[in-house]
Structure 1
């Protein structure tokens, strides 16, 4: 078995595109949720809130020919990946095209714009607006394919599209590809662009917040007065590398990935099951070969939905312990869907290395039905720990758990 380390990281989020800005906004308790005027125009939609990335633009050096098959989601994924490869000092053809570097990347869906044109085709037989790249922008594996083609990555490719676990599964698959000696380096992550269709999906399930007049007071993960989630967007890439390969070339190592667990509830498409969620968490602990008591912090999925928060926190108590510190970054960013697992892994690693962990915003009164855990509130918490866990759960009963170890 090979050891797997993280040697590059980069993210595009509504709180900033580098760790310094992101952490500063966490410490300021800045909430990126805003009133979304475009949602007001949708008849019958209950929520009017979203958490957009407002300052992302196509990098000036990206030539038109290079990006003609990219929508916004792929542009964000490609930009995040470029910066992560630069961070890892691997933006070099001798690595990218060696066959020893692969890619695992995911999203819930592709870009929205071409979906409209295909909808017109199905509805009225009108092909206007459809061209040779429309499907490539729209397809669920658009991020993985576009990132791979842009950089000429020629190793194995995993295209993960599993809703809210898209990027956590991508990191897990990338970790296993290196661990079992199939690749030496992997680009891993996920992205999502804000789309009204995704908002509507959760709204029809009565899972979105309706606190439309007080956007800064929502979402409220784990709080007894929570009323649903907010949809966000973003992208994040981690560069994973075989330990000896990284050491040999003198790479900076941010953390070691030591555990990954994933499974399926096999019960219900939208109702989570705490027992199988706990099994996935336990699988991650077993993979890492550590005790539950070794985990110093859990980054929760924490969407602020009724059943989701209750199932997740009780599963965490069952598998880890009742005194484990826990918080949810979705209280700042909203739910970034296919990007959340990677963004939260990036943040968990960075917080572990800095020794300060962000609180959950808007958590004033813990729901008594939630698990008995050490919920971080107030100004956050200074914690010196060797291990952090990041958990994500998705429609279809897909459960994931990742464990990162501080590199010394």
Structure 2
């Protein structure tokens, strides 16, 4: 079995639009949450959202290639571009070597709704143009990235709710480990427009703490009242270790374990058992024990049930262990389909810079979070091994182990 390393990373999020800015935000515990008043006009109960800058692609990408890109695809292009640049992979390399792409994406709402509006008003499919079909498909991100960057390896999307980005990295890891691919660009992308999250708002899933936007996302805190929708894109370039060394690529970290499970219960019901199985499988594959983990990037989204069940699972595996635990969603909100990928980038940036980002807005524990070794302020610490958790609707669970190399 081959070793799998990260040779490039890219990030476009509410914490910043490059790795350097994001690393600074993480260290400072800076929130990227704000208000979008249009959400209230549209009928939302909460205007809270991660504030993500929209990239300007004119001059970077030919119009012919831009026409099929939805919002999340634009974020993914920017993240992929940064990852390729760090990995020292240029167009000539891509033209002469097989590189795959697996991205997590579980919706593309805006083009679907916009096309429906045109049809409702004009009743003529000829007015839709050619872009909507490519923007509207769940596979839009990998389709577009494959065409833009001339990627000729494995090419598909992972659609598994809020674990999509993590599963995408896990599957890329397995393909390389088993010798089926040498290099796979993996990641996750999430649209941030208000069309995309109305049904979540209908579930009363969102925080309504609009008087203090930066304090609204409160993972593990007793007084949490819901998550904050957010988004953007994250990309990691995964490669076989030997081929990466041979071409002189920078080696940022090693993926050593991937664990997964399904809860098999209610469609929106979390499970501590399912979480424990995914984490345990990841650690077993990586050949590590609870004592070896230095940092856990928790999934905790600031919902009552989700945080509670994850806290129970973490306590079962890591009580009295030294691993720091934090959920970066206190700063970012819930980046949904991209979260499993962005949190691998966030964790690797912490590993490279010897700190643990804080679980901000944690003021009062509840009975479940009280035993956890939470980093409520930034901790200067050497991090050699990270466990990153991602869970989603439908009971899907994913966990990844990342090591310093």
- Specify the alignment match of 2:47 in structure 1: 48
Aligned partners of 1:110, 1:322: CA distance in 2, in Å?
43
Q: Point out where structure 2 has 5 or more consecutive residues left out of the alignment.
A: none
- Specify the alignment match of 1:352 in structure 2: 351
- Specify the alignment match of 1:326 in structure 2: 325
- Specify the alignment match of 1:10 in structure 2: 10
Aligned partners of 1:171, 1:46: CA distance in 2, in Å?
34
Distance 1:59 1:321, change over 3 A: farther
Task: Say if 2:27 and 2:355, in contact at 8 Å, map to a contact too.
Answer: no
Once the two structures are superposed, the pairs formed by residues 149-298 of structure 1 within 5 Å of their partners are 149-298=147-296
Aligned partners of 2:130, 2:20: CA distance in 1, in Å?
40
Task: Say if 1:387 and 1:404, in contact at 8 Å, map to a contact too.
Answer: yes
Aligned partners of 2:326, 2:270: CA distance in 1, in Å?
19
Q: Which moved more, 1:178-187 or 1:69-78?
A: 69-78
1:27 Cα deviation after fit: 3.3
Q: Which moved more, 1:11-20 or 1:348-357?
A: 11-20
Q: 2:276 aligns to what SS in structure 1? A: helix
| 1:87 maps to 2:118 | no
Task: Say if 2:94 and 2:149, in contact at 8 Å, map to a contact too.
Answer: no
Given the two structures, how large is their TM-score scaled by the length of structure 1?
0.94
Task: Say if 1:74 and 1:146, in contact at 8 Å, map to a contact too.
Answer: yes
Distance 1:182 1:219, change over 3 A: same
* 4+ runs deviating over 4 angstroms: 122-126
Q: Which moved more, 1:341-350 or 1:197-206?
A: 197-206
Q: Point out where structure 1 has 5 or more consecutive residues left out of the alignment.
A: none
Task: Say if 1:311 and 1:370, in contact at 8 Å, map to a contact too.
Answer: no
Q: Which moved more, 1:264-273 or 1:157-166?
A: 157-166
Q: Which moved more, 1:397-406 or 1:18-27?
A: 18-27
- Specify the alignment match of 2:395 in structure 1: 397
Given the two structures, how large is their TM-score scaled by the length of structure 2?
0.95
Aligned partners of 2:203, 2:320: CA distance in 1, in Å?
30
Aligned partners of 1:71, 1:136: CA distance in 2, in Å?
8
- Specify the alignment match of 1:67 in structure 2: 66
1:128 Cα deviation after fit: 7.0
The root-mean-square deviation of aligned C-alpha atoms, in Å, is: 1.8
Distance 1:122 1:292, change over 3 A: farther
- Specify the alignment match of 2:28 in structure 1: 28
Q: 2:294 aligns to what SS in structure 1? A: strand
1:337 Cα deviation after fit: 0.8
Aligned partners of 2:95, 2:337: CA distance in 1, in Å?
24
Aligned partners of 1:124, 1:321: CA distance in 2, in Å?
61
Once the two structures are superposed, the pairs formed by residues 97-136 of structure 1 within 5 Å of their partners are 97-99=96-98, 101-110=99-108, 112-118=110-116, 121=119, 125=123, 127=125, 129-136=127-134
- Specify the alignment match of 2:373 in structure 1: 374
Q: Which moved more, 1:211-220 or 1:174-183?
A: 211-220
Aligned partners of 2:356, 2:216: CA distance in 1, in Å?
20
Distance 1:183 1:377, change over 3 A: same
Aligned partners of 1:42, 1:115: CA distance in 2, in Å?
14
1:344 Cα deviation after fit: 0.6
Aligned partners of 1:363, 1:55: CA distance in 2, in Å?
30
- Specify the alignment match of 1:19 in structure 2: 19
Aligned partners of 1:73, 1:55: CA distance in 2, in Å?
10
Task: Say if 2:221 and 2:364, in contact at 8 Å, map to a contact too.
Answer: yes
Q: Deviations over 1:53-96 (max 9, x none)?
A: 12532252211012111122111111211121111011234445
Q: 1:216 aligns to what SS in structure 2? A: helix
Task: Say if 2:138 and 2:159, in contact at 8 Å, map to a contact too.
Answer: yes
Task: Say if 2:110 and 2:196, in contact at 8 Å, map to a contact too.
Answer: no
Task: Say if 1:117 and 1:128, in contact at 8 Å, map to a contact too.
Answer: no
Q: Deviations over 1:340-399 (max 9, x none)?
A: 111110110110121101111110111213372101112x11222320111100110000
1:48 Cα deviation after fit: 1.4
- Specify the alignment match of 2:362 in structure 1: 363
Task: Say if 1:11 and 1:343, in contact at 8 Å, map to a contact too.
Answer: yes
Aligned partners of 1:59, 1:80: CA distance in 2, in Å?
16
Q: 1:238 aligns to what SS in structure 2? A: strand
